[in-house]
Amino acid sequence: MPDCRYYQIGGLTVQVESDLPITETTFQPKFKCFEVAGPGEDNVIIRHHFAPLNLEKMDLGRCVYRKAPWAIYRKGDTWIYLAVSAPMKDTEAGDMGVLSADHTHAEMYHAREDSFRRGNWQSLSMFTTDQIWLAPVLADRRAVLLHSAGVILNGQGLLFVGHADAGKSTTVTLLKDAGIGVEILCDDRNVVRRWLPPPARDGGAPHPAPPPPVTREGEWRVHGTWSHGDVADVSPASAPLRAILFLQQDTRNEIAPLTDRKEIWKRLLVALIRPMVTAEWWQKEMNVLEQIVNEVPCYTMRFDKSGAIVAELENQLRISSLSQHNAIRSFQ
Amino acid sequence: MTSEGQVNLTTICTPSDDVVAREIEGEIVIVPLVAGIGDADDELYTLNPTGQAIWQKLDGQRTLKDVAAALADKFAAPLANIENDVLGFASELVRRGILAVSKA
């Protein structure tokens, strides 16, 4: 009987099974807050097996991508991912994932047990990142994985978007240090998902994992992930996405509406985390981005490191709260 | 695929199967499918107005000469100039793998 744990992310429940025991130290401590008691309404299954791979004798199918750390093959309806380093032949890979067409089912094969037993894994898939399965699964659920920092402030989700040195972790740290009760979702990767109201339950057995959030029609929510940057705080929580703020370090502290749709598009496109892409994946994700551009208020946030931007954010949220009360959608 | 050196006015070009193109806010954005996995930084292409006008005529039926003639007519511009623009554009995009030569 394989060992089994469950984790939630972006409204999904990930069922992780292993032929070897999963201990408290198998995965990094950051996963602890994502752990749930059992399967949910929408599940992804990852199974870990340990045995020599013998890839020389295996028909891997057609190679569709090869650039370290990945070699990816397509065989029938399955995707085969090999973890490779630059000088290595694909058949020398020590870890292989066989994923279903929709990436909701992964059989992971590992040639060595020792690294698993050593533990402290930063991903549930035991690859360098869980993005390879998460990003395709999200595309089928009106969701995107964005290079961003996410927080919940006064019950409202804020997403800060910018390139690697734009100040995502700095912003999160400023908010955290301000002591205003901010909940950090993640400072580097967050899920933005458009939720529809859940269908009426038919009285079936309850799920051990938390149910999807109760939402308004077509509500956008931001969900935390475990893929953090400099700030180790992460959370599986979610909140209505009130605003996307594009970061720009400056000598001023100012939040201004960004209404240039072309500019919003460009900034979101470069923040989109990509898996092994297909034309179908891109089209789905661009549909989601188009809806975000149309429906989520966007701003530029110029800020210095003094922390003065925190008061500006709080002020904007206060105004936003009043606006919502009057059924006005804007952040302002 | 034919290399860009073989692109001439009798060539027929079509968008490569390795890219996805989408009109966004009046601008054509092209994303390659075979780039690195991760962030999309520096791997998106947008076309200037001239490129956009050419791209929209690349229907897999017209030769580049036909495309140039249609554009020269539309913009009332000298055919020779437009042919140069079309050839330069097509050669560059074939070199980048964004256009495929379907017939030469």
Q: Does A283 contact B38 at a Cβ distance shorter than 8 Å?
A: no
- On chain B, the residues whose CB falls within 8 A of the CB of A97 are none
- The domains located in chain A, with CATH, are 3-128 (no CATH), 141-325 (3.40.50)
Length of chain B: 104
A 252-291 residues with CB < 8 A to B: 261-262, 265-266, 269-279, 282-283, 286, 290
| CA neighbor of B97 nearest in space, from B53, B50, B34 | B34
Q: Is the peptide bond before A69 cis (omega within 30 degrees of 0)?
A: yes
Return the bridge partners of A315, or none: none
Please indicate if any CB of chain A lies within 8 Å of the CB of B40.
yes
Q: 0.95 exceeded by the pTM?
A: no
Contact B29 A265 (CB under 8 A): yes
Neighbours of A236 (CB within 10 A): 21
Res B52 pLDDT > 80: yes
Tell me which chain A residues have a C-beta less than 8 angstroms from the C-beta of B98: none
Q: What is the rounded CA–CA span in Å between residue A281 and residue A293?
A: 18
Instruction: Give the pLDDT confidence score for residue A312 in this predicted structure.
Output: 92
Query: Which residues in chain B are contacts of A286 at CB distance < 8 A?
Result: 20, 22, 24
The owner of tokens 């999807």 is A212
DSSP for A61-123, written as a single string: -EEEEEETTEEEEEETTEEEEEE--TTS-GGG-SEEEEE-TTSSEEEEEES-SHHHHH--BSS
pLDDT digits (tens, 9 = 90+) for A302-330: 999 999 999 999 888 876 654 554 433 44
Residues 6+ positions from A311 with CB-CB distance below 8 Å: none
Handedness of CA B78, B82, B83, B85 (dihedral sign): positive
- Residue of chain A with shortest Cα separation from B31: A282
Mean of per-residue pLDDT scores for chain A: 90
Interface test with B, best of A133, A144, A262 (most B CBs within 10 A): A262
Residue B36 has a pLDDT of 60
Does B24 lie at the interface with A, CB-CB under 8 angstroms? yes
Please say if the pLDDT value at position B38 is more than 60.
Answer: no
Contact state of B37 with A279 under an 8 Å Cβ cutoff: no
Q: What is the pLDDT of residue A211?
A: 67
Q: Which residue in the set A261, A270, A275 is minimally distant from B37, CB to CB?
A: A275
Q: Which residues contact A214 (CB under 8 A, 6 or more apart)?
A: A197, A198
Give residue B26's pLDDT band: very low, low, confident or very high (50, 70, 90): confident
Between CA B10 and CA B85 the distance in angstroms is 15
For residues A125 and A153, give the distance between their C-alpha atoms in angstroms, rounded to a whole number: 31
Q: Is B36 on the interface with A (CB under 8 A)?
A: yes
- Mean pLDDT per 10-residue interval, chain A, length 332 residues: 91 97 96 96 96 88 87 93 87 92 96 93 94 95 96 95 92 95 96 81 67 72 96 96 95 94 92 86 93 95 94 83 46 44
Q: Quick check: helix, strand or coil at residue A261?
A: helix
| Every domain of chain B and the residues it spans | 11-103
CA neighbor of A276 nearest in space, from B104, B11, B3, B36: B36
Asked if B2 contacts B89 with a C-beta cutoff of 8 angstroms, the reply is no
Contact B31 A270 (CB under 8 A): no
Task: Give dist(CA A278, CA A274) in Å, integer.
Answer: 10
Distance from the A80 Cα atom to the nearest Cα atom in chain B, whole angstroms:
15
Residue of B20, B22, B39 with shortest CB distance to A147: B39
Work out the average pLDDT over B56-85: 94
DSSP character for B97?
T
Strand order in A70-75's β-sheet? A35-36, A3-9, A12-18, A43-50, A105-110, A95-99, A78-83, A70-75, A62-67
Chain B CB within 8 Å of residue A132 CB? yes
pLDDT for the residue A331: 46
Query: B29 — contact with chain A (CB < 8 Å)?
Result: yes
Residue A218 near chain B (CB below 8 Å):
no
Chain B residues whose CB is inside 8 A of the A276 CB are 37
A46 beta partners: A16, A106
Give residue A330's pLDDT.
Answer: 42
- Residue A250: per-residue pLDDT: 94
Architecture of the domain made up of B11-103:
Orthogonal Bundle (1.10)
Helices A168-177 and A308-325: crossing angle in degrees, nearest 10, is 80
Q: Is the pLDDT of residue B2 over 50?
A: no
Residue A317: which residues within 8 A CB-CB, separation 6 or more? A153, A154, A156, A242, A331
Which pLDDT belongs to residue A200? 63
